[in-house]
Chain A
Amino acid sequence: MTTTAPPKTSPAPQLRRQPRAPRARLAGIALRTPYWVLTGALALVFVFPLVWAGVASVAPQPGSSQVDGWGFGNYVTLMEYQAGLPQYLLNSTLVSGMTVLFTLTASVLGGYAFSRFRFPGRDVLFLLTLAILMVPYATLLIPLYVMLNAVGLQNTLVGLSLVLTVFQLPFATFMMRISFDAVPRELDEAALVDGCSSFRALRTVLLPAVKPGVITVGLFAFLAAWNDFVAPLILISDSDKIPLPLAVANLRAQVMGIVDYGATEAGVVVMALPCVVLFLLLQRHYVRGFMSGALKG
């Protein structure tokens, strides 16, 4: 905005990382208090909804399974709902596991191909993969249902995982391609000259180098598959094959005109907990995955 402000002759006072005298430190704390208050409030805003869901799910609430006093009534409801929570957790785990597997297989091999090989149709395929991002999910569902039917994968968790994989491909392929791009070519060329096959070079030399990217892609695929609601809604018909989000959606509106908020909150907690735990465990790698790519400015 102020494009031609006169350059200051004295360097701007720096608060950061300067050894300070005790008085200066006191002043620093005084100066930093607003910063702490502000950032503390900010952290609170981001964490509060999750904490609230956890607390509310065990709090007493009219119209839920936990009417009097605190307790796990809502979780009991969830546990006993139709096929039972363990079954839904198992379904969700299977779907997420397969989606991660399929996504990693396709994107690691694909990223390797796009980064290291020249072949006819390469750019078209890459752009086509990115274009998946641009199609409204909702409209593709019916055609996808038709396609899965055509190959006999309708109403199967494998079919569902394949569909979820496709929607992960733009991010995953892009991520893996830039991860491979960031690895110096000399590394695998040396391996090739040593007589490695290109697959062996990938496995022994490149894969360790792109590990953070692999973790990021895998985590992304897991989170997406674990939480998806629309695809299983259309693609899965057996009530004992449905994943958790769909079960929670059913449970939420079991009686006409009432939302069972207690069950909703418990459902959100059960859906979120594995994701948050996994996320915290892998956070460092996840962030490194972004760093290691050529995303850098």
Chain B
Amino acid sequence: MATHRRTSARLVASVIAAGLASTALAACGTSDENGGAQEAPVSAEGVDDGTELTLWTRAPLEQQANLLVEAYNASHENQVELTVVPNDDYVAKVGAAAGSDGLPDLFAADIVYVPNWVQQGLFADVTDAVGELEHADQINQGHLEGGTLDGRQHVLPFVLDVSVMFYNKDLYERAGLDPEQGPTTLAEFADQAKAVDELGGNVNGTYFGGNCGGCLVFTWFPQIWAGDEDVMNAEGTESLLAGDTAQEVYGVWRDLVESDAVGEGSKEETGATWTGPFLEGEVGVMPFPATMLATADEALGEVGVAPIPGPDGGASTFVGGDGIGISKDSENADQAWNFMSWLMSEEAQVEVLAKNGDVVSRADLAENEYSSKDPRVLAVNEVAAQGRTPLAINFQQAFNAPGSPWVTMVRNEVFGEGGTVETDNEEITAVLGQ
């Protein structure tokens, strides 16, 4: 009993200390009175003095994280040690560590969770240091906003992922479609999907994660945005997903399901394998993560890329991926900042990320040596700059969690009876507003 009382006392003490420290430091910049923890870094470069830094990320970003860490370690005194955590258990892992002051120096988080985690005080304040960065105004706004609370910044983009339409050129050709022309409206998308579906055999028109809230926000929100409607109010406390455009979008997908142009397993797809069928060449066209361009090319030859359209045209994208910040528990904030600041450099953005076919986080680097070789990559980078990142404190619970009200709504509208869109929407609002 005594031990755990002491622990919780310590916990409380450190929370208080964290609060004190951040207010004190905002005023005077440096102070070592609190043992160095929570010290906000202020210089643009940070410190590179051979410190061992720890970094956590979730498994789906492992490839990018590995490349970044390798490049950093090769060119710096500081050494970053990467720990990869299974995607579905990342929150549990971070939560356990956060409660016992055991967070690593740096950790990445799905950008839609960032507002919540910032509010809970998991990230150190890096506002002043961000201000020192040369290209601060070029950094992806959606990610920066996600990490901003009361005007203070906490997070930089780690790896960006945007959603775009991918289509299988080979299947398009076989179905008599123009392999150089992707869909420009949702109606065209549906027509093309159905045309490919006619090929029969293993081939299906399209595919989606019908039981995966995260996949659905990533791929369907842009269709609503492209129709100039919003999915939530600006505060992220009210759901607008019963709007006209939203309902049109559900209608398109319901029609695809009813005409059986959707691949087997869409209905129960929990997200674990939602990109698999396309990569195996069994799907004609679907909204897809742009980070997988290289993988898809490798598997299928050149794939077609188009922005995600709305019901009547337009284009938008979901700027997802992970943000990264310095943890509240880090005692090496200046050294950790050195990594973050390097992350925003041309070296990291172009020579590591762009070279790997990933989207860059700085608008001024959208056109670079690697993207200019491939007009599709350029298009992706450009669409990323005009995409959106939906922000809400309770985003995970309302949308991403298994069995979230958003998943319920989509399933009712697309697979079920339908007609409950208003009440389902209220349920989402109720969760968002908690």
B192 on the A face (CB < 8 A): no
A238–B86 touching, CB < 8 Å: no
B84–A82 touching, CB < 8 Å: yes
- Given known contacts A63-B276, A150-B4, is B102 in contact with A253 (CB within 8 Å)? no
Separation of A37 and B89 alpha carbons in the complex (Å): 45
B295 on the A face (CB < 8 A): yes
Separation of A186 and B148 alpha carbons in the complex (Å): 75
B81–A259 touching, CB < 8 Å: no
Contacts of A151 in B (CB 8 A): 3
A234 on the B face (CB < 8 A): yes
A291 → B minimal CB distance (Å): 40
Q: Which of A62, A141, A254, A258 contacts B96 (CB 8 A)?
A: A141
Q: Which of A62, A233, A237, A254 contacts B102 (CB 8 A)?
A: A237
B36 on the A face (CB < 8 A): no
- Could you count the A-B residue pairs with CB atoms below 8 Å apart for me: how many are there? 104
Separation of A16 and B62 alpha carbons in the complex (Å): 61
Contacts of A237 in B (CB 8 A): 54, 56, 83, 93, 97, 102, 104
Q: Which of B6, B7, B54, B60 contacts A255 (CB 8 A)?
A: B60
Contacts of A154 in B (CB 8 A): 100, 102
Q: Which of A141-159 contact B (CB under 8 A)?
A: 141-143, 145-147, 149-151, 154-155
Binds A, one of B25-33, B266-274, B415-423: B266-274
Q: Which of B1-51 contact A (CB under 8 A)?
A: 3-4, 6-7
B63 on the A face (CB < 8 A): yes
B295–A239 touching, CB < 8 Å: no
A29 on the B face (CB < 8 A): no
A253–B89 touching, CB < 8 Å: no
Residue of B62, B96, B274 with most partner-chain A CB within 10 A: B96
Q: Which of B282-307 contact A (CB under 8 A)?
A: 289, 291-292, 295, 299
Query: Number of B residues contacting the other chain (C-beta, 8 Å)?
Result: 43
B182 → A minimal CB distance (Å): 20
B275 on the A face (CB < 8 A): yes
Q: Which of B81, B83, B209, B272 contacts A253 (CB 8 A)?
A: B272
Q: Which of B272, B280, B292 contacts A259 (CB 8 A)?
A: B272
Q: Which of B4, B63, B85, B97 contacts A254 (CB 8 A)?
A: B63
B99 on the A face (CB < 8 A): yes
Contacts of B272 in A (CB 8 A): 253, 257, 259
**Interface range for A:** 20 to 34
A145 → B minimal CB distance (Å): 5
Contacts of B275 in A (CB 8 A): 255-258
Contacts of A82 in B (CB 8 A): 84
Contacts of A254 in B (CB 8 A): 59-60, 62-63
- Given known contacts A150-B6, A234-B96, is B291 in contact with A256 (CB within 8 Å)? yes
B372 on the A face (CB < 8 A): no
Contacts of A249 in B (CB 8 A): 86, 89
B363 on the A face (CB < 8 A): no
B95 on the A face (CB < 8 A): yes
Separation of A154 and B104 alpha carbons in the complex (Å): 13
A250 on the B face (CB < 8 A): yes
Separation of A206 and B86 alpha carbons in the complex (Å): 46
A257–B289 touching, CB < 8 Å: yes
Separation of A245 and B89 alpha carbons in the complex (Å): 14
B186 → A minimal CB distance (Å): 22
Q: Which of A205-260 contact B (CB under 8 A)?
A: 233-234, 237-239, 246, 249-250, 252-259
A253–B292 touching, CB < 8 Å: no
B410 → A minimal CB distance (Å): 17
B83–A239 touching, CB < 8 Å: yes
B62 → A minimal CB distance (Å): 5
Chain A to chain B contacts (Cβ below 8 Å), 11 pairs: A63-B279, A141-B92, A145-B100, A234-B96, A239-B82, A250-B62, A250-B85, A255-B60, A255-B63, A255-B275, A256-B289
Listed in ascending order, the chain A residues whose CB lies under 8 Å from chain B are 62-63, 82, 141-143, 145-147, 149-151, 154-155, 233-234, 237-239, 246, 249-250, 252-259
Query: Top 5 nearest A-B pairs by Cβ distance?
Result: A257-B275, A256-B60, A257-B274, A239-B83, A249-B86
